[in-house]
Amino acid sequence: MRDFHAIIKRLKLYLAKGKRRKVLDKEVADALRVSQSYFATIKRRNAIPYEQLLLFCEEQGLCANELFFEKEGM
């Protein structure tokens, strides 16, 4: 299973599809529907926001395995 930073990196890759610029932490926080300060806190603590990630996956039709595990194909 991936750690927090690897999960966020995969999420940023998903959010970057179709864009020609880097995805910012602000955009990740918005996608997860959390405040920027909360995202900064969990990032500093290396705490995975499972509930928010699973809700995001459900809304986007994304398989959670692609974020959490080393499975290729995203």
Q: Note the pLDDT tens digit of each residue in 12-45.
A: 999 998 888 899 999 999 999 999 999 999 999 9
Pick one of 3.30.70, 3.30.110, 1.10.260, 1.10.357 as the CATH number of 4-68.
1.10.260
- Tell me the two tokens of residue 18: 């179709």
Say what the pTM is: 0.85
Between helices 25-32 and 36-45, what is the axis angle to 10°? 100
Sign (positive or negative) of CA dihedral 33, 16, 63, 2: negative
Percent of the chain whose pLDDT exceeds 70:
95
The Cβ-side half-sphere exposure at 57, using a 13 Å CA radius, reads 18
